[in-house]
Amino acid sequence: MGTNQTPNLPPKLPGTAVLLQRTILLLGNRTKGELTKKPKSELFELIGAYPTSEQAA
């Protein structure tokens, strides 16, 4: 990583273990394809972004 590059980290992290587990599950599903409306908005609410499938991996 060069000096001008920053890692692609989520804008925020879930605050509890349960929410973190849910985020991991949603990100795993995202690596397989598009999420439907409800899970997509849930993931955005949890981490503040909707990553590409490559970023989710």
Task: Give tens-digit pLDDT for 2-29.
Answer: 455 555 666 788 999 999 999 999 999 9
Please write the tens of the pLDDT for every residue from 28-53: 999 999 999 999 999 999 999 999 99
DSSP 33: S
Cβ(52)–Cβ(8) below 8 Å: no
Hey, what amino acid is at 15?
Answer: G
pTM over 0.85: no
